[in-house]
Structure 1
Amino acid sequence: MHGAWHGSWCWEGLTSVLHTDGWTTRTVDLPSAGAQAGVRDDAHVVLQELARIDGPVVVVAHSYGGVPVTQAVAGATDVSHIVYLAAYQLDVGESLLSHHGAPTPAEPDGFQPVPEHPVPLFYADAPAADAEAAAGRLVPQSTRSFSDTLTAAGWHTVPSTYVVCEQDQALPPGDQEQLAARSGSVHRLASGHSPFLSMPGEFAALLAKIASEAAG
């Protein structure tokens, strides 16, 4: 599941590699990117998609996408593994804002605008043309999605792996390491925030390794 301000389009390069390698993939557009929707709305969409798939399923969550995935997987029956990619692996009662020690907005409605300089923030190590194209597709993110708290956390019952992006400018690696302590295993990539754009081949190989190990 994609992160804030993004859409399922961000996975296109990665899924192309995975398909070539024989993997079946599905992507989902989270409604909080571009619409007045919160974590539970996003989680509902994730659950709907999971219900259409004959398991077992490995769910990959990037950045903010970790929040609704964590909520959704708690109610799913066919998820064998969660991969948190530079993602918010939160616990019950936590929100993205509370994780950073930020207060809940007095007015939860509205949107968080696209960051002013998205290319160095999200795509610093991606090819320049790809980075600019991706930045041009970003949309405002629902404020509510950042302040909604989790009521369930699927990683307590479903095995998880955390992938730390060591050159990340959006979610600092030190912060990722703290979140990764909640996962059963940890891998690291020498990438910025979006390895699906900057190193799709290497990231696809890592996902294949994780999925194969999860299958036993």
Structure 2
Amino acid sequence: MAAVMLVHGLYHRPEHFAVVAEHLRTAGTEVVVPELHRGSLLADTAAVQAAIDALLEPPIVLGHSYGGSVITGVCGARHLVYMAAFVLDVGESAAGLGGASPQLQDAISPEPDGSTSLHPDRAAATLYGDCPEPLAAWAVDLLRVQAPGCGRGVPERHSWKNTPSTYFICAQDRAIEPGLQRKLASRCTDVREWQTGHSPFVGQPSLIVELLQELLATTTSHGRDGGVTTTR
């Protein structure tokens, strides 16, 4: 069975991808949405790698925002999809590239234990500003506290250098500057641009579903045994 893996960003949960996952599963695609928040980029990457290794076929792996840092470090993906995400090179980290926009930085609230959370009103405007208010409120309610340091993590592997990749620029993003996204997108095989905010999987999930179904229909899968299977 064709498989897709959806990797969320900082502060987010797998539940943020619920609508996308439901539509793909209804169409017969296996969907895995790993939980991050393991305490570091390397630990998050290891969790996603374990989920990839457990699948029978190499999946299409989508990383959103910080999730791009995570999927950069995995191997065994059929195709990488970066959505408003970090495509890191040797020695780079999300924070080192500029990371959060000033608006997102203003939304971050420090917690006594060194972790951070997002101010609800500011998070709604920054992450889900193009969503109807009830939908944005639902997404904000799902956000969780974030352990420190993940954005400063440096991946040990750079999978985009040998795996086909697609970058989707979110041109109305208020969390990661579109200009930075365009620079990172130049590292990918294919680049497309949407007039969406930072989180189209919440506001316009059909866009994500259509993209992934297109890639499932046209990309080539390299099996675990090294054989090649092409889907049309």
Same fold (TM over 0.5): yes
The superposition leaves residues 51-74 of structure 1 with CA deviations (integer Å, 9 ceiling, x where unpaired) of 110112100000001111111x2x
In structure 2, the residue matched to 1:112 is 116
Structure 2 residue matching 1:60: 3-state secondary structure: strand
Q: Map Cα deviations across residues 163-197 of structure 1 (whole Å, 9 max, x no partner).
A: 11111111111111010000000111221111111
Query: Are positions 1:175 and 2:173 aligned together?
Result: no
Alignment partner, residue 201 of structure 1: 206
Does 2:36 match 1:30?
A: yes
Q: Secondary structure at the match of 1:143?
A: coil
Cα shift at 1:41: 0.5
CA RMSD of aligned residues (A): 1.7
Question: Offset at 1:115?
Answer: 4.5
Q: How does 1:131-150 map to 2 (within 5 A)?
A: 131-150=136-155
CA distance in 2: counterparts of 1:98 and 1:110, whole angstroms: 19
How many angstroms apart in 1 are the aligned matches of 2:58 and 2:154? 27
- Which one of the candidate residues 83, 95, 108 is aligned to 1:97? 95
In the alignment, structure 2 segments of 5+ residues that lack a partner are: 1-6, 101-112, 221-229
Q: 1:101 to 1:54 in 2, by over 3 A?
A: closer
Measured after TM superposition, the shift of residue 101 of structure 1 is 8.1
Instruction: Give how far 1:23 is off.
Output: 2.0
Deviation at 1:210, TM superposition (A): 2.3
Deviation at 1:110, TM superposition (A): 2.7
Q: Is the 8 A contact 2:52 2:58 kept in 1?
A: no
For the residues of structure 2 that align with 1:201 and 1:142, how far apart are their CA atoms? 31
Match for 2:10 among 4, 13, 34?
A: 4
Q: What TM-score do you get using the length of structure 2 for normalisation?
A: 0.82
1:121 lines up with 2:112 in the alignment: no
Normalized per residue, the structure richer in strand is: 2
